[in-house]
């Protein structure tokens, strides 16, 4: 029998009678691992080794070949490529002779082999050298080899251990090796083969595949492909934007007579062309994937449309009876390579005939998700029975007796596995399975609401309960999880869109009743279930609820909710029924709950409530101990890609704590911890969690990072210094603050304004290799008490009294100043007030947290000191406020040391508005930006805002002074210089509500706004809402104001109650600040109409508030990505589609003073009110938690929300009279009327310039220009002062001027003279 020679490389150790070899210290040494055969190779006898172990520390892998060198007398080099004197070695996919390459591309790449793969060499009797990989001949590599050669193996790089494969077989004629020994070996091989065949026959009812590896898709895929369902399902990303780059291949070559079949799961009706299927000789591990597989010009056969393409060229124009471009969702496509080399395609099981007669022996199946084809799934298909009957002879029976115990033990284990109730692999098109077929889910729950049916793998036994737990939901659809039984077996079942559509052998619990074959069986289910105080509709199921169905021995069907029986719902149910669930509507994922889980839950806290690690995690992480322990197994070979998340969001004041149980000293850095609002199901795990740039807060070392940017560098603990058995925990307090705990000690506030429903995140990075959860699934009362009552070391808020509730809301939600500030600044009132205690400078203050997009930081001037000159300066900075020592801060924004400070290489950018100038790092970038800040008075409000378009805006008393600077980066802090006469300021602004901003439609389309997030905007007492009687209508909703996010042509004033369109005729959408309650009426009064336009106001409801201003459509009827019901003129639009004409009200006929409103009743029907009169139902089945939406379109350019106070106020506010006057500008007689469905075009003359209410005095720039004009000595009689106009940066923006207008005859573009001041001349003296 073949063995390794006892003489080996320096780091090799032999074992197992010299048949196994391993490299010592494989993670620190990569070479000196050469071994050779003990005897020369025999002709036509395969010398084969198996790779037992690999490490990931190095590049390169096993090398194998032959040499004429005798191992007894030869001095081994460090690697096999160092052999000379007649040596042939396979390195990667190249063949080397005496260290020189003779074949560049040969066979499969050795570097891509995995553990348990085999590689061998063989010298034929004709002197040719052949390499074998996993038993497959790679072809002739060299010829004319000497007769006496030894095998040489190099355990190089990743390969650290190999073993000889004992059952080496003869691949040719006679051999000079010992005939007796060979005869015995062949006899033993024959017996072993018979034994293997019989064991296979007894333990499996079907013949096995030729390969031990199950057919799945290869891990290397096209650039737009996403794999799921254990690599059995492939889907092309962005199918409406991209049509190619969707190539996928199998993980191994297909075998002769093996059927490879896929199901077409999803199509899109946008592109031409569709799926393409075929074979290729190109190894997916080496292939540079093309955009489409038909671009490959060698070794490829593809079926495209109704033709066959070979190497990219058409060889058969018409093939078979089907066209792949015409297949529908659910159709099946298969192919078989026959043993005679013929390739056959199968469409829905029908053989299409011979497609090619010369198919390569070694070929991978390939699928191209091209054009309309988006998603496919590999189906379980075995080749036909080819086992000869003679194997079951008498000799086989004798061998069975020898293996009786083994066979029966395997049978028992298989029987127990088959007895387990799981989901069957065949499920509906929009359903996928995971977690060992114990969990079913809809992969795209926000796009698809049906075709989510899954069935059990076997029939339910008598009195066996089929329990299913609802794991996750979405708020987009109506309806929810449905459960029942059916007589239809899942193997060949043609799944309908919903199970209630089945017309035979089916009983389903749906909504409030039982459906038998699609017809209601028991409509009294709701009343019967109420006696158990359970929800009366399945649509009200919440995450964690468990529903079950049981067929009793007497043929009755029982349903349960959370293990409490509801009622006897059906009788005469036959035996042999399968459990079935329909993951419909709001339900997006459900899991089977077995009896063990139920028993565990009855003795402990609910498994859903107990904190554990989520089953989804980074690729280098493993979870054990029931989800309580996380490990990075290859801790010395990999340092990242080991992110863990909690299985559910943390509750307020709930401690999530882990203990470090294992560390390695190989890497820098260590554990990282934090919070994120992203659900584990929605995240694509990066290598480290600090790479996430959305709604994530992490502690890395001693740095606090938000959305990938460092916001603090000097936190009170350093995670990189933690040792073994240290504990780290995190808590989101009821006030929304993030606290970290080290060994039970509070480290203080790390971040403020953390939203609710955040998941804990642990990153097993660097030195940290293993952690275990120590905290339970309940609110940590000691932590809650500590966070509310404070501690001596870390008190950051006023200490409440001991009898205060643990769940009370904080007394203030305003912004705060950072503790890092100028040396003359004293912070008061919980860091919400800043006072300069002496001198006139050293008064810089910063916001405690970076500003989000669209967030404003505003302060009120509290005290002035007239003895000083100069005044407050305000702006933004990318400098981390706590990263600069106090004594290193500049004395003021205008001092020389400020110039020196910003010129340092390590400094960040600072944008400041000082007086009326805008500065960037001490350099002036804009003169006369705004009225001078030196005119500030006590009580004035000054704010700075980072716009969603990356611009900086300054606000004075709530008025936007326009864009001060552009290209502002993310994570900038507000900076204020309390300088000169301004001595004290107080913060008046509040942070943006993260629960809304995280759910933006366009920045995170997978999220949907929930009622809990939107209600956080309203500030109402919910008890008041609950006390309202059903049917009462709240016609004076005092808490309604317009949302701060609106169209770009909108200006809000009057405390957010009034909205005015400042320019053009569109881009003027506004929303209510909170969603509509049932039977409450949202009403607005039309304040002003502009007769220069056609069409008018639109009103309705939208599923969620579209907060991203840049992505708002130009009109409300263009809202199509969310459910939006809009009344425009007398037509009703549903998500952009007209669904009703001649509604009872016409919006285009409304006059000034008319009141229009919308309301939702208990049945989610939309009512429209005009002047208090209900005009009827405009739409039905409106989603819950809708916001009111108003479009100030065309003629309507100002509305006010109707409240009780508004009814008693004058119709016209004197502060806005100038707007009324300025709107009455003479215009041309011609007007362009356009149909409302096509939109409206602006008229080809200058639109009226609406003057904004301004100070009675002229701006500083206009005053300076008038002084200059007076110096010219021109007579005043030449000028008409009534037409003077200033076009400085501040004035033209305040008026809302367009940059270009049409002027002249013929009309041509005219640019307004920005930076000039116009002095009009009289037309005649």
Give the pLDDT confidence of 180-200 residue by residue, as tens digits. 444 444 445 544 444 444 444
**At 574, phi and psi to the nearest 5?**
-70, 170
**At 1102, phi and psi to the nearest 5?**
-135, 150
**At 98, phi and psi to the nearest 5?**
55, 40
CA distance 712 to 699: 10
Inter-CA distances, 1044 with 646, 1051, 1155, 1186, 1196, Å: 34, 10, 22, 17, 20
Range with lowest mean pLDDT among 154-168, 452-466, 1032-1046, 1118-1132: 1032-1046
Q: In what order do the strands lie in the sheet with 87-91?
A: 34-36, 150-154, 63-67, 87-91, 94-97, 100-103
CA distance 455 to 1306: 72
CA distance 1288 to 1285: 9
Residue with tokens 């015409």: 326
Inter-CA distances, 1070 with 38, 704, 838, 1164, Å: 84, 36, 46, 22
CA distance 1266 to 1056: 37
Inter-CA distances, 541 with 455, 693, 877, 1017, Å: 20, 33, 48, 26
Residue with tokens 């429903």: 757
The candidate with the shortest Cα–Cα distance to 591, out of 546, 540, 647, 560, is 546
CA distance 367 to 248: 5
Burial class of 290 by CB neighbour count within 10 A (0 to 12, 13 to 18, 19+): middle
CA atoms within 13 A on the CB side of 979: 24
What is the residue-averaged pLDDT of the chain?
A: 77
pLDDT score for 138: 86
CA distance 26 to 24: 6
74 pLDDT band, cuts 50/70/90, is confident
Task: Answer yes or no: is pLDDT of 391 > 70.
Answer: no
Report the Cα 658 to chain-centroid distance in Å: 26
**1247's tokens:** 């639109």
1288 pLDDT band, cuts 50/70/90, is confident
The candidate with the shortest Cα–Cα distance to 708, out of 896, 850, 553, is 850
- Report how many helices (DSSP H) and strands (DSSP E) the chain contains, helices first: 14, 82
Task: Report the run of H or E that residue 199 belongs to, with start and end.
Answer: helix 179-203
Q: Mean pLDDT across the stretch 262-285? A: 90
Which of residues 399 and 696 earns the better pLDDT score? Answer: 696
In contact, 66 and 152? CB cutoff 8 Å: yes
Give the pLDDT confidence of 942-955 residue by residue, as tens digits. 999 988 778 899 99
Task: Answer yes or no: is pLDDT of 998 > 50.
Answer: no
The candidate with the shortest Cα–Cα distance to 120, out of 135, 110, 107, is 135
Task: Answer yes or no: is pLDDT of 890 > 50.
Answer: yes
Task: Answer yes or no: is pLDDT of 1229 > 50.
Answer: no
- pTM here? 0.33
Give the pLDDT confidence of 461-497 residue by residue, as tens digits. 888 899 998 888 887 888 888 999 999 888 878 888 8
CA distance 675 to 656: 10
In contact, 160 and 49? CB cutoff 8 Å: no
Which of residues 1252 and 66 earns the better pLDDT score? Answer: 66
Q: Mean pLDDT across the stretch 851-872? A: 89
**642's tokens:** 């080991």
The conformation of residue 899, written as its DSSP 8-state character, comes to H
pLDDT score for 901: 55
CA distance 529 to 118: 62
**At 107, phi and psi to the nearest 5?**
60, -160
Inter-CA distances, 29 with 22, 1067, 1188, Å: 12, 66, 68
Range with lowest mean pLDDT among 253-262, 483-492, 697-706, 1027-1036: 1027-1036
CA distance 202 to 391: 12
Q: What percent of the chain has pLDDT over 70?
A: 77
Residue with tokens 């018979």: 194
Task: Answer yes or no: is pLDDT of 1000 > 50.
Answer: no
336 in helix, strand or coil? strand
Where does 213-326 show beta strands of DSSP type E?
225-228, 233-236, 247-249, 259-267, 276-280, 300-304, 307-310, 313-316
The candidate with the shortest Cα–Cα distance to 927, out of 1254, 1255, 1257, 1261, is 1261
Range with lowest mean pLDDT among 287-291, 497-501, 561-565, 584-588: 561-565
Task: Answer yes or no: is pLDDT of 1245 > 70.
Answer: no
Task: Answer yes or no: is pLDDT of 826 > 60.
Answer: yes
For residues 123, 125, 126, 127, the Cα torsion angle rounded to the nearest 10 degrees is: 30
For residues 249, 252, 258, 262, the Cα torsion angle rounded to the nearest 10 degrees is: -30
Neighbours of 1167 (CB within 10 A): 18
Nearest-5° angle of CA 334, CA 338, CA 344? 40
Task: Answer yes or no: is pLDDT of 337 > 70.
Answer: yes
**1288's tokens:** 């400085």
Task: Report the run of H or E that residue 625 belongs to, with start and end.
Answer: none
DSSP β-ladder status, 982-987 and 833-836: antiparallel
Residue with tokens 């074949």: 103
CA atoms within 13 A on the CB side of 1065: 21
Where does 666-717 show beta strands of DSSP type E?
672-676, 696-700, 703-706, 709-712
Task: Answer yes or no: is pLDDT of 929 > 60.
Answer: yes
Which of residues 629 and 213 earns the better pLDDT score? Answer: 629
Burial pattern 82-108, b for ≥16 Cβ within 10 A else e, equals ebeeebbbbbbbbbbbeeeeebeebbb
Inter-CA distances, 580 with 324, 490, 1237, Å: 32, 9, 45
* Bridge partners, residue 771, by sequence: 630, 660
The candidate with the shortest Cα–Cα distance to 761, out of 872, 680, 866, is 680
In contact, 1193 and 1068? CB cutoff 8 Å: yes
In contact, 846 and 821? CB cutoff 8 Å: yes
**At 337, phi and psi to the nearest 5?**
-95, 110
CA distance 154 to 1263: 87
DSSP characters for 1000-1035?
Answer: -TTT-TT----HHHHHTTT---HHHHHHSPTT--BS
The conformation of residue 1261, written as its DSSP 8-state character, comes to H
The candidate with the shortest Cα–Cα distance to 48, out of 111, 4, 95, 97, is 4
pLDDT score for 483: 92
Q: Mean pLDDT across the stretch 1250-1267? A: 61
The conformation of residue 1296, written as its DSSP 8-state character, comes to T
In contact, 1245 and 1227? CB cutoff 8 Å: yes
């Amino acid at each position: 029998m073949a063995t390794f020679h006892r003489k080996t490389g320096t780091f090799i150790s032999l074992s197992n009678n010299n048949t196994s070899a391993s490299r010592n210290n494989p993670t620190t040494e990569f070479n000196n691992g050469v071994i050779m055969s003990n005897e020369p190779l025999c002709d036509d006898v395969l010398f084969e080794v198996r790779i037992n172990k690999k490490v990931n520390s190095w590049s390169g892998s096993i090398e194998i070949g032959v040499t004429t060198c005798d191992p007894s007398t030869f001095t081994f080099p460090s690697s096999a490529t160092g052999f000379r004197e007649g040596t042939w070695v396979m390195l990667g996919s190249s063949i080397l002779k005496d260290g020189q390459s003779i074949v560049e591309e040969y066979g499969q790449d050795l570097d891509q082999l995995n553990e348990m793969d085999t590689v061998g060499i063989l010298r034929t009797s004709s002197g040719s050298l052949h390499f074998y990989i996993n038993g497959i001949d790679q072809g002739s590599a060299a010829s004319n080899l000497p007769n006496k050669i030894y095998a040489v193996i190099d355990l190089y790089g990743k390969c650290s251990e190999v073993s000889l494969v004992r059952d080496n077989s003869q691949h040719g004629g006679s051999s000079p090796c010992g005939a007796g020994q060979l005869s015995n070996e062949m006899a033993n091989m024959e017996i072993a083969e018979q034994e293997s065949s019989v064991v296979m026959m007894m333990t499996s009812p079907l013949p096995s595949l030729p390969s031990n590896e199950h057919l799945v898709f290869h891990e290397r895929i096209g650039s737009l492909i996403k794999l799921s369902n254990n690599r059995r399902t492939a889907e092309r990303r962005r199918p409406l934007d991209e049509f190619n780059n969707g190539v996928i291949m199998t993980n191994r070559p297909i075998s002769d007579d093996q059927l490879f079949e896929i199901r077409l799961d999803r199509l899109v009706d946008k592109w031409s062309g569709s799926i393409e299927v075929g074979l290729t000789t190109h190894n997916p591990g080496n292939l540079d994937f093309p955009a489409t597989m038909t671009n490959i010009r060698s070794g490829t056969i593809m079926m495209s449309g109704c033709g066959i393409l070979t190497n990219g060229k058409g060889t058969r124009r018409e093939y078979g009876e089907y066209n792949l471009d015409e297949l529908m969702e659910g159709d099946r496509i298969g192919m078989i390579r026959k043993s005679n080399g013929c390739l056959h395609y199968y469409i829905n099981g029908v053989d299409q005939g011979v497609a090619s007669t010369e198919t390569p022996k070694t070929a991978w199946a390939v699928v191209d998700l091209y054009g309309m084809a988006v998603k496919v799934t590999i189906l379980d298909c075995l080749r036909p029975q080819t086992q000869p009957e003679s194997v079951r002879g008498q000799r086989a029976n004798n061998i069975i007796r020898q293996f009786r115990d083994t066979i029966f033990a395997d049978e028992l284990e298989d029987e127990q596995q088959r007895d387990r109730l799981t989901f069957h692999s065949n499920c509906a098109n929009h359903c996928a399975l995971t977690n060992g077929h114990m969990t079913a889910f809809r992969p795209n729950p926000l796009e698809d609401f049906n075709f989510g049916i899954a069935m059990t793998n076997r029939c339910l036994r008598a009195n066996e309960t089929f329990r299913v737990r609802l794991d996750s939901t979405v708020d987009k659809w109506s309806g929810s999880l449905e459960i029942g039984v059916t007589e239809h077996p899942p193997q060949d079942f043609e799944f309908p869109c919903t199970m209630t559509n089945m017309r035979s052998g089916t009983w389903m619990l749906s909504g409030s009743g039982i459906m038998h074959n699609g017809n209601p069986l028991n409509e009294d289910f709701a009343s019967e279930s109420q006696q158990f105080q359970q929800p009366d509709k399945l649509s009200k199921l919440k995450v964690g609820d468990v529903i079950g169905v049981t067929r009793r021995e007497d043929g009755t069907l029982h349903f349960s909710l959370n293990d409490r029986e509801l009622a006897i719902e059906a009788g005469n149910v036959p035996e042999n029924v399968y459990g079935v669930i329909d993951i419909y509507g709001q339900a997006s994922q459900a899991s089977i709950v077995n009896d063990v889980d139920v028993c565990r839950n009855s003795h402990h806290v609910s498994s859903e409530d107990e904190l554990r690690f989520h089953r989804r995690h980074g690729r280098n992480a493993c979870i054990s101990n029931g989800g309580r322990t996380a490990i990075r197994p290859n801790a010395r070979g990999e340092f990242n890609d080991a992110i863990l998340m909690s299985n559910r969001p943390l509750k307020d004041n709930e401690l999530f704590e882990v203990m470090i149980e294992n560390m390695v000293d190989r890497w820098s850095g260590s554990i990282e911890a934090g919070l994120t609002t992203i659900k584990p199901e929605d995240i694509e795990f990066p290598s480290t969690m600090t790479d996430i740039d959305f709604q994530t807060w992490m502690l890395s070392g001693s740095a606090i990072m938000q959305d990938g940017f460092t916001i603090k560098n000097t936190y009170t603990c350093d995670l990189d210094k933690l040792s073994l058995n240290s504990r780290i925990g995190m808590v989101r307090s009821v006030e929304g603050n993030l606290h970290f705990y080290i060994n039970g000690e509070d480290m203080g506030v790390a971040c403020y304004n953390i939203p609710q429903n955040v998941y804990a995140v642990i990153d097993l990075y660097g030195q940290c290799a293993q952690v275990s959860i120590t905290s339970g699934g309940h609110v940590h009362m000691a932590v809650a008490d500590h966070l509310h009552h404070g501690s001596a070391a870390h008190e950051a808020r006023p200490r409440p009294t001991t009898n205060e509730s643990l769940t009370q809301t904080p007394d203030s939600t305003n912004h705060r100043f950072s503790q890092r500030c100028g040396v003359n600044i004293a912070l008061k009132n919980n860091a919400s007030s800043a006072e300069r205690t002496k001198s006139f400078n050293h008064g810089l203050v910063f916001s405690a947290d970076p500003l989000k997009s669209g967030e404003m930081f505003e302060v009120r001037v509290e005290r002035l000191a007239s003895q000083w000159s100069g005044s407050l300066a305000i702006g933004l900075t990318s400098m981390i406020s706590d990263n600069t020592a106090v004594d290193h801060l500049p004395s003021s924004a205008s001092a020389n040391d400020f110039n020196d400070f910003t010129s340092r290489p390590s400094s960040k950018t600072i944008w400041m508005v000082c007086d009326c100038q805008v500065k960037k790092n001490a350099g002036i970038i804009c003169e006369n930006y705004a009225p001078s800040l030196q005119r500030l008075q006590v009580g004035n409000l000054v704010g700075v805002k980072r716009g969603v378009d990356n611009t900086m805006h300054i606000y004075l008393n709530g008025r936007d002074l326009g864009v001060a600077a552009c290209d502002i980066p993310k994570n900038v802090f507000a900076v204020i210089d309390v300088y000169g006469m301004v001595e004290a300021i107080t913060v008046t602004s509040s942070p943006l509500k993260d629960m809304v901003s995280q759910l933006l439609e366009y920045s995170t389309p997978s999220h949907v706004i929930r009622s809990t997030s939107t209600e956080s905007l309203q500030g109402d007492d919910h008890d008041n809402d609950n006390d309202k009687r059903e049917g009462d209508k709240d016609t004076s909703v005092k808490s309604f104001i317009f949302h701060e996010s609106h169209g770009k042509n909108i200006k809000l004033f009057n405390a957010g109650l009034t909205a005015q369109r400042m320019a053009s005729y569109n881009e003027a959408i506004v929303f209510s600040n909170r969603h509509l309650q049932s039977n409450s009426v949202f009403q607005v009064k039309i304040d002003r109409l502009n007769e220069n336009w056609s069409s008018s106001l639109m009103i309705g409801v939208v599923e969620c508030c579209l907060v991203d201003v840049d992505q708002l459509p130009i009109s409300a009827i263009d809202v199509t990505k969310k459910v939006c019901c809009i009344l425009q003129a007398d037509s009703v639009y549903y998500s952009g589609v007209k669904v009703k004409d001649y509604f009872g009200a016409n919006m285009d006929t409304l006059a000034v003073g008319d009141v229009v409103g919308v309301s939702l009743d208990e049945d989610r029907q939309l009512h429209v009110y005009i002047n208090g009169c209900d005009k009827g139902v405009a739409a039905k089945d409106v989603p819950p938690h809708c916001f009111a939406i108003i479009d100030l379109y065309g003629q309507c350019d100002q509305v006010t929300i109707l409240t009780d106070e508004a009814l008693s106020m004058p119709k016209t506010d004197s502060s806005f009279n100038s707007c009324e006057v300025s709107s009455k500008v003479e215009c041309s007689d011609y007007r362009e009327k356009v149909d409302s469905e096509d939109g409206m075009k602006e008229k080809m003359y200058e639109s009226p310039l609406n003057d904004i209410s301004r100070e009675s005095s002229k701006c500083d720039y206009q005053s300076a220009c008038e002084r200059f004009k007076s110096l010219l000595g021109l007579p005043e009689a030449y000028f008409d002062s009534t037409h003077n106009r200033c076009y400085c940066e501040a004035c033209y923006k305040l008026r809302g001027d367009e940059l270009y207008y049409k002027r002249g005859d013929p009309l041509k573009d005219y640019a307004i003279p920005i930076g000039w001041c116009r002095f009009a001349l009289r037309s005649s003296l």
